A and B are shown apart, each in its own frame.
Chain A
């Protein structure tokens, strides 16, 4: 009913403008129904890693802010995502206007589609965020990509890199990694000394000299981690 109430004055206004004008051409302009002005973005993510399931992918439209900055300390919300795979904090930030999250983790080699609808793309940026769950605090995604110029039917494809939140030491030790390689602890509010976001150095594993690691060679990765395709459907 709310939508209907909004529509009526809009149509009434157009009709009045048409009837009141001297120029007959006005009547030839078909009023655009409000529903057709909906913009729909499809975000497709492909997990390019060999053995790193990705925590449920989160996507967000926002005008301000960045989910992370190299050299700066991670926000509590980013730490929560990077250590435990929980994207609710980041997607719930005040700056986020629209968001969507996958229901389940994305397996290596698998693809996931997520949709977002909005009435305008003006000044909008898109962020995509997920954790490599067989790491201590590794994450990947897109950080405030400008999508404001995306026209209907346009599609852009990008590869994402691996980052380290810098909030938990990369011990790879039993009990510290939430993914299936370990089933250990996720988020812990304690911060390691580094406490700065940086590019991820990769995982070492117990076959490569870190005998105390719960990871093996199948969990190793190289950039890029994910392919993300953003398509404006309408």
Chain B
């Protein structure tokens, strides 16, 4: 970068800073679980009246696509439609247990809240989420702990089925890490709470073949919180 460009950018930043309180916001996301993977994360600074999800409310079809199959493109489109500052897939793939990733977004007077979502695997429609957290205007480092949610859109049958990531297709699309069991009979065929709610956790079982679940009851469980977020407002 030459000096002239640098000066121009500095000038613009100062102008923007004087009116819009724009700030670079660094977001570090750590997967706190022992055996659960996060699919591509979506991190965004957006207007305070927008929500990727709301607990106690029905999931949008874009949220359903994310929670059932890890597809964040629909939510990313919604965010770009409202001029949000978004970072899609900062980990460039799965975020493994205990691993962390960094994302950068920009807050402003209008994009004043932070949201984060990613599907958690192996689950039917579980996701980790942060819903419209007010970004502090004061520079500093802030810590937030996130819970695991159930989108309420798919029965938690706990059967791993190739290609079941599409909305409405019953099953868990993949089980990264420890290979799943096989030929489970299914934990349940009903989703009774159809609102976004706190995930009750996986059941799993101790049978590699058969049993109710394809998941392992000593590996594929968690307790909240499932993620730590460190936000640095520059």
Contacts and interface: CB of A to CB of B under 8 A. Distances in A.
A220 B147 contact: no
B14 interface: no
Tell me if B's interface is mostly helix, strand, loop or mixed.
loop
A207 B223 CA distance: 18
Given A50-B192, A109-B193, A218-B192, A223 B200 contact: no
Tell me if A's interface is mostly helix, strand, loop or mixed.
loop
B188 interface: yes
A49 B197 contact: yes
Contacts of B55: 46, 48, 227
Given A109-B152, A218-B188, A48 B200 contact: no
B42 to A, nearest CB: 22
B148 interface: yes
Interface string A209-228: 00000000111111111010
B194 A109 contact: yes
Given A50-B192, A51-B192, A220 B201 contact: yes
Contacts of B195: 108-110
A191 B200 CA distance: 29
B199 A222 contact: yes
B73 interface: no
Contact of A218 (B148, B200, B212, B223): B200
Interface of A: 46-51, 108-111, 207-208, 217-225, 227
Given A50-B199, A109-B194, 9 more contacts: A49-B197, A49-B200, A50-B192, A50-B193, A109-B195, A109-B197, A207-B212, A217-B203, A218-B200
Interface of B: 55-56, 147-148, 150, 152, 156, 187-188, 190, 192-195, 197-201, 203, 212, 217, 223-224
